[in-house]
Structure 1
């Protein structure tokens, strides 16, 4: 049977085998120069989930603005998926331990990511702690002809401008914003002007009020608190 769904979720215990280099501890899959363990070809793949891709300590050089990437999933990985997995419909990318600032220690760029999005009929997209993704990315998503469900978690670079772009996405019907603190009532109002969302989830977004969320979609779930489930989702739940 041809592979249609692939899930990878890193779970590391405190006694797992690690490699120490120069006093720093990491595992070999974080080496961006190693053989890319995430590259694969599958024409029938529809559902891809890469969750809790953890990172090892920052290596910055302030002189050149350089950031050592900490994952081996690179733009080349995305190009390979775009070329070889043309039926891909569901993408879930979740990172833990990443700084919210640029340059990103994630091993790929927004440019590479958008090549994948624009090459495949993506219906469902989940981005968790994706510090490479910003309002320009939202602008590109807005022209995606297949996108129905979008979930953004800890995407700090997405603002009200991004909401204004995504409000015009032709097929978007389900939107979830979790811990996106740079989206405000103004951005939610942009969504409300279109009146086509089936469901809207707002969880622990400090600048969005319940009053602003009401009426934006047929179904609205709003919480000003951070749930245990959300803490687990971002990799900060109790072990």
Structure 2
């Protein structure tokens, strides 16, 4: 071991993934202690680490080459002592100038002032905020302006983010964001996200989800004009992954308009999107020739049919016929909730499903709640020559 150069030992140390093993290794000798410290690029901070401020000073002094920091106070109580606060983030951003990936989860002591210190992390690429209850739009604007290399932003259960959304406008016009995930943030609606403007052109992965049922008080689209055909004036031709869940898109098209603009789309998840129609699927199939994966979770709504108003899942065989033309489609999930044999109905027929499964090179198939699918349908699946997982 003594004959090996430090650089080679450092490469060996980087391949040790267990934190306990790395800690044990650092106790073997002063040389290994130093090499391990210089090679450590990731640390995780949780409730068990305290006192928080003293601990962050010690960690940053030792591991000055940190690239990724995950701070997670899930399950924290007063008995654990104080959490890392704004001062702690200031120390982190001052010591670790190479930080590129930061996650803050359930950090109730950190507000906009603390988040603003991350603007000094000029190499920051990824920022994840999970249940950051004191963060507002002001803190996000400071990060957007200061971190020019930010390419991934995740916002989960951050309910104080609302207002003018200057941070979103700034990221759209001057930022380099390629991935945006917004989940369960009550102050951010789909029409706010349309303010991203030219940023949609750079975006490659987009997720917008709510966990709750549809709200009858869904915000309205300020650009909507009744009885006029209109479209949103932006392009998202580089978008490869799109996931929408529990959003309402009826007269005001909103984020549903993305389905006709994503020419590079490869993976699509549409879960309980109210207002989804066959026309959307036809437009999608016509424009997204690279589609490889689709997940549709549907539940009954009132629709107009040939025999009047019926309660069924919103998509019909017309959607399946359109999707059958997606010759690269390999992963499919079709889930129908709350349907019965008689009422409410499934919009698809078994014949439509059989045609779809036989037309596409499907390798992985999930079919849930399809009470119309019987043994005859299973026999048809046997002719799906690419199917590997059912």
What is the TM-score normalised by the length of structure 1?
0.64
- Which residue is 2:185 aligned to? 205
Larger Rg: 2
Which residue of 115, 122, 130 maps to 1:153?
A: 130
Find the aligned partners of 1:143 and 1:166 in 2 and give their Cα distance: 9
User: Unaligned regions of 5+ residues in structure 2, if any?
Assistant: 1-11, 21-33, 213-390
- Which residue is 1:112 aligned to? 88
CA pair 201-128 structure 1, distance change in 2 beyond 3 A = same
Q: Is structure 2 residue 155 aligned with structure 1 residue 177?
A: yes
- Which residue is 1:2 aligned to? 13
> How big is each residue's C-alpha offset from its partner over 1:4-62, in whole Å with a ceiling of 9 and x where there is no partner?
75658xxxxxxxxxxxxxxxxxxxxxxxxxxxxxxx982221011235x37xxxxxxxx
CA pair 185-173 structure 1, distance change in 2 beyond 3 A = farther
Find the aligned partners of 1:204 and 1:107 in 2 and give their Cα distance: 24
Task: Give the superposition deviation at 1:79.
Answer: 0.8
Find the residue that maps to 2:148 and give its secondary structure: coil
Q: Is the 8 A contact 1:92 1:125 kept in 2?
A: yes
Task: Give the superposition deviation at 1:105.
Answer: 4.3
Which residue of 102, 109, 116 maps to 1:132?
A: 109
User: Unaligned regions of 5+ residues in structure 1, if any?
Assistant: 9-39, 55-70, 227-239
Over aligned residues, Cα RMSD in angstroms?
2.8
**Structure with the bigger percentage of strand:** 1
Find the aligned partners of 2:109 and 2:86 in 1 and give their Cα distance: 6
Q: Is the 8 A contact 1:5 1:47 kept in 2?
A: no
In the TM superposition, 1:1-239 aligns within 5 A as 1-2=12-13, 7=19, 42-50=37-45, 53=47, 72-98=50-76, 105-120=81-96, 121-168=98-145, 169-184=147-162, 186-187=164-165, 188-214=168-194, 215=196, 216-217=199-200, 218=203, 219-225=205-211
Find the residue that maps to 2:64 and give its secondary structure: coil
Task: Give the superposition deviation at 1:175.
Answer: 0.4
Q: Is the 8 A contact 1:189 1:212 kept in 2?
A: no
Find the aligned partners of 2:160 and 2:187 in 1 and give their Cα distance: 7
What is the TM-score normalised by the length of structure 2?
0.41
CA pair 181-107 structure 1, distance change in 2 beyond 3 A = closer
Q: Is the 8 A contact 2:89 2:117 kept in 1?
A: no
Task: Give the superposition deviation at 1:125.
Answer: 0.2
CA pair 190-159 structure 1, distance change in 2 beyond 3 A = farther
**Structure with the bigger percentage of helix:** 2
> How big is each residue's C-alpha offset from its partner over 1:45-83, in whole Å with a ceiling of 9 and x where there is no partner?
1011235x37xxxxxxxxxxxxxxxx5242111111111
Find the aligned partners of 1:6 and 1:157 in 2 and give their Cα distance: 33
Find the aligned partners of 2:139 and 2:83 in 1 and give their Cα distance: 23
Query: After the TM superposition, which of the residue ranges 134-143 and 107-116 deviates more from structure 2?
Result: 107-116
